[in-house]
Amino acid sequence: MLKTHHCGEIRVEHDGQAVTLAGWVNRRRDQGGLIFIDLRDRWGIVQIVVDLETAPDAHHIASDARSEYVLQVHGNVRIRPEGTANPELETGDVEVVVSEMKLLNASKTPPFYINRDESIEEVRRMQYRYLDLRRPAMQKNMVTRHRVVKFIRDYLDNLGFLEIETPILFKTTPEGARDFLVPSRLQKGKFYALPQSPQQLKQLLMVAGYERYFQIARCFRDEDLRGERQPEFTQLDLEMSFVEREDIIQLNEGLATALVENIATDKKLLWKPFPRLTYAEAMEKYGSDKPDLRYDLQAHDVTDIAGKSGFAVFVSNTQAGKPVKVIRMPGMGEISGTALRKVAADLETLAREAGGKGLAYMALPLEETGEVKGPIGKFFTVEQKVELFERVDAQPGDLLLFISDEREIVYAITDKLRRHLAAEHNLADPNVLAFIWVIDFPLFLWDDELKRWDPSQHMFTAPMPEDLGLLDTDPGKARGTQYDMVCNGYEVAGGSIRIHERELQEKIFPLIGQTMEHAKEQFGHMLEAFEYGTPPHGGIAWGVDRLSMLFAGAPNIREVIAFPKTQTGADIMAHAPSVAEPGQLEELGITVVEPEEDEDE
RNA sequence: GGGGGUGUGGUGCAGCGGUUUAGCAUACUGCCCUGUCAAGGCAGAGAUCGCGGGUUCGAAUCCCGUCACUCCCGCCA
């Protein structure tokens, strides 16, 4: 080894020891005859001192050294002279007096600062990702992620799970996203699909009798990117046999809790056990199936009261079966006149963006006797207002936002307003993790374009046993066994109990517009497997990137992925994707069709 | 596919009600300095203002297009 110790681990107990260190120049402070260098490695920073008189050769190297030069130093640890300790540094009580110094490698001036926390344009960071990753903040994120994965492995191993790898080159999976295709050279004209998840394979592992499987699995989905979505991402994929919904929920809740308590030690777990919301409740109260419950801001149904009011919009909407809901925003009713109208106008813009036609409001005065502000107050009688305020538990100084529209639009507006208000007023504590379960999802969602039912998760999700009859009578009402683990507004895990009987599976296919012929073509191996003694089974898949992001307090998952892609799916550093060599294409039997200049619509 | 934001010395920002020598900080280069720690002092170099076009006597600034990064909708669990 070129070092005997790590820079970040030198402490008072090493006083007097001869050490050899190696690392990068974080900062250099040249006093002339005396040069201080903060030497950095993955474990931290330690100050080294180079004295012209006692170590002239080392001093010469040190005076030429610049940021990010790689140095090896030999010297003695000593407690810093009285009054020169640096409480900011973990190693700040000591320093290393250098006797020899070796330049292991010089560095060009870096394109951005490694040694300071400053926002850098993302293109630049991606172009020099290896330097970006050198920044302590990024190294910390990588450590967090490593600990998450390591903890998961140990935890599940202790519970008898086996980690089993599944192929990357496989076949289209029933997840419903666009597949990445890989051409086959050995069978020209045919393609593999990269797995959107190991869904089929883990179910087959259950058929194979492994009973408890997990994998830290790379998954691929060719869809547009978001801050929380990359074309390739990592799942903790898990499947168990002989379980019911409750077993999976308990086990995963245990894992999540242990993870927070052992890894995300600077975060506060808001609830233990996790509260459970039905899908219907989540949508009605928060307009989202992954609500951020660090703050309340729920939508109260006031359809009955508003329908009796004199406000024509509410009356006609109510008669048309559209709900009226109120979000109560404390404190915002206090602002007055112009400012209030401005705020209301901004919120109305948001509502319109979410598909709404407008947004009514009432601002409640601080004094009991004061007048309700806002254009719709006059359409409610005193009794109606009293009933309304009781319904939403209104307090003096509240701003009440009224949402009324088609149910789906009410959901969208509710979600948008909640997120906006919370962000605007810092209602979401970044140090809190609000884990919840969302359960009782509908088994199918109606696809209006294709005029058919679509599995809300995937086609292997089992219906709730008590809803089996609904498959024949009213499939839209049937609930699935699906469960989602949601934290701070992100879906961090989702799964279900699977269908393990062929008869039930064959009943589902026609409902989702899947013919038996086509199903056999795509999933014949699954259907056949299910005929050889399939145990009841179920599982879940966690978004490891999202979880690590939440634990790291990062604003997006790119911060916890060493080499992520940009929004156009590019790797700016390596210039991927790139044009293939003609020879490669020929070998694969592929011809590239040049995109035509805005031809058809 | 659609909507929003950003793009100015290496980096982070200002300038955008049209005329500036394109400003500041830091990094960088040289010199001084033996207890600094975001070291300090002095001097200096460094920018076709993302790119293309247009309006104008005059464009970093206004208009159109385009590219890149990013946020959101669609898409995706």
**Strand B neighbours among A 271-330, CB < 7 A:** 289
CA A339/CA A342 separation, integer angstroms: 5
Question: What token pair was written down for A362?
Answer: 């009432």
Q: Distance between CA atoms of A420 and A327, rounded to whole angstroms?
A: 12
Residue A562 has which token pair? 């060493």
Q: CA–CA separation, A289 vs A491, rounded Å?
A: 9
CA of A194 to C1' of B51 (A): 37
Alpha carbons A27 and A68: distance in angstroms, whole number: 8
Give the CA angle between residues A574, A579, A580 to the nearest 5°: 105
Q: At A175, is the pLDDT very low, low, confident or very high (cuts 50, 70, 90)?
A: low
**A428, A294 contact by CB (below 8 A):** yes
A221, A237, A275, A494 from A539: Cα distances, Å: 20, 8, 20, 9
- A458 φ, ψ to 5°? -150, 175
Specify the pLDDT at position A601.
29
Read off the tokens for A92. Answer: 């700040």
Q: Which nucleotide is nearest to A229 (CA to C1')?
A: B76
Q: Which of residues 545-584 of A touch strand B (CB under 7 A)?
A: 556, 558, 566-568, 570, 572
Give, as one character, the DSSP assignment of residue A333: G
Nucleotide nearest to A445 (CA to C1'): B77
Query: Which residue from A207, A273, A192, A292 is spatially nearest to A502, judged by alpha carbons?
Result: A207
- What is the reported pLDDT for A595? 63
Distance, Å, A111 CA → B20 C1':
29
Specify the DSSP element, H or E, that contains A445.
Answer: strand A444-447
- The answer to whether A64 CB sits below 7 Å from nucleic acid chain B is no
Q: What is the pLDDT of residue A174?
A: 67
Nearest CA to the C1' of B10 belongs to which residue? A111
CB-neighbour burial class of residue A112 (10 A; exposed 0-12, middle 13-18, buried 19+): middle
Q: Which of A57, A54, A56 is nearest to A78 (CA)?
A: A54
pLDDT tens-digit profile of A301-330?
A: 999 998 888 899 999 999 998 999 999 998
pLDDT one-digit tens code per residue, A47-88 = 999 999 999 999 999 999 999 999 999 999 999 999 999 999
A324: nearest Cα among A291, A359, A375, A352: A359
Greatest distance between any 2 Cα atoms in chain A = 93
> pTM for the full model?
0.92
Contact A37, A25 (CB under 8 A): yes
Are A272 and A261 a contacting pair, CB within 8 Å?
no
Predicted confidence (pLDDT) at residue A24 exceeds the cutoff of 50: yes
| Radius of gyration of the CA atoms of chain A, in A | 30
**Tokens 């920073």 — which residue?**
A45
Nucleotide B77's nearest residue (CA vs C1') is A457
Q: What is the pLDDT of residue A187?
A: 94
pLDDT band at A6 (very low <50, low <70, confident <90, very high): very high
pLDDT digits (tens, 9 = 90+) for A470-484: 888 888 889 999 999
Q: Which bases along strand B come within 7 Å of a protein CB atom?
A: 1, 8, 10-13, 26-29, 32-40, 68-77
CA A565 to C1' B47, whole Å: 30
How many CB atoms within 10 Å of residue A572?
Answer: 17
Per-residue pLDDT band for A526 (boundaries 50, 70, 90) equals: confident
The residue with greater pLDDT, A223 or A510, is A223
Instruction: Using a 7 Å CB cutoff, list residues 231-270 of A near strand B.
Output: none
Structure tokens at A377: 């107050």
Report the percent of chain A where pLDDT is more than 70: 98
CB proximity A598–strand B (7 Å threshold)? no
A398 touches strand B (CB under 7 A): no
Q: Which two tokens stand for residue A484?
A: 């989602």
In this complex, the answer to whether residue A27 has its CB under 7 A from any atom of chain B, a nucleic strand, is: yes
